[in-house]
Amino acid sequence: MTRAVAHWTRRLVLAPAVVGLTGVLVTTVPVWLIVAAALSPVVPGRLRPLRLLWLLTIHLVLESLILLEMFGLWIASGFGWAIRRPFFERIHYDIVGAYLRVMFREARRVLKLSVDVRGPAPDAFPGEPLLVCVRHAGPGDSLIVMHALVNWYRREPRVVLKDTMAWDPAIGILLHRLPSSFISPRPGDGGDAVEAEIAELASDLDANDGFVIFPEGGNFTPTRRLRAIESLRRRGHHAMADRAEGLRHVLAPKPGGVLAAMAAAPEADFLMVAHTGLDHMLTVADVWRELPMDKTITMQWWRVPREEVPSGHDAQIDWLFDWWERIDDWIDEHR
């Protein structure tokens, strides 16, 4: 499927379908509440069906409201003519913040979560653009990092994420209107096109921008870890493969995107972000199995001034691997 076909499929088919599904769920919610309440005594975990039903309902209602609001903004912007202007961009960031704020509040209450934040967080550096390198460990942890950047530290993230995320209608439409990049594999170009796209996104960062990239390129699983090591050896990167074998909780970082962003934003310092607590929950089935969670999510920030980053391609790759080894050790200690 071409990008254009996928683009219009998300807007003309999936977005109305989500709104319609939400309408059905809301109008029949008394029935679902009765079913969930009846199942709760016989399903392991205190009130597990009711908790999941509540979170699903909140998510779908918020997603539908976002889609309807963005349709209204599209009309108000002259049917998309001015949708990328600063006034509308700010409104879209406010929408992102509102969704994350409500979902975080409800998840923390319903799932019994707490968050322990350590290190110099982004609000310690007002007026400075930042390159934020985040450990990739599932949608729950990633959303909490984004919530922290937007709502706690008043940053406007520019995000690099996988193209599959665009199939969520609200995420796909919303982030296509904000500075972001949906990365898709492009066999045969050696990664040059992707790196050029990342470099363009990282250019001209404003004082409150945070360029967010997940250097691993995907969530950690044992299978992906082995595939990443095999890929490095197949391409002749034996030293990197040897270092990747020593990583127990993270995938080997892919340096191309990070180095491209670094070159495009020479004035920006780095923030390295590690977190643990929800890293083994990657699917709805994982969430279901763990409810109620009663977990503490620990988040660690490290600021790396630009002058501490070495020059030279190979030295910068070693520097990135050094940091990922440090993050791996931190996860081993705090998991």
- Residue 46 is predicted with a pLDDT of 80
Q: What is the per-residue pLDDT across 164-183, written as a single tens digit (0 to 9) for each?
A: 888 888 988 999 999 999 88
Q: What is the per-residue pLDDT across 200-229, written as a single tens digit (0 to 9) for each?
A: 999 999 888 999 999 998 888 888 889 989
Average pLDDT taken over every residue of the chain: 87
* CA contacts within 13 A on the Cβ side of 312: 5
Q: What pTM did the predictor assign?
A: 0.89
- Residue 277 is predicted with a pLDDT of 74
Share of the chain above pLDDT 70, in %: 89
Q: Read off the pLDDT band of 292 (50, 70, 90).
A: low
Please name the residue that has the structure tokens 């992707």.
194
Query: Is the pLDDT higher at 20 or at 11?
Result: 20
What value does the mean pLDDT take over residues 90-116?
90
* CA contacts within 13 A on the Cβ side of 166: 24
- Residue 287 is predicted with a pLDDT of 67
Q: What's the DSSP call for residue 307?
A: G
d(CA 167, CA 173): 9
- Residue 164 is predicted with a pLDDT of 83
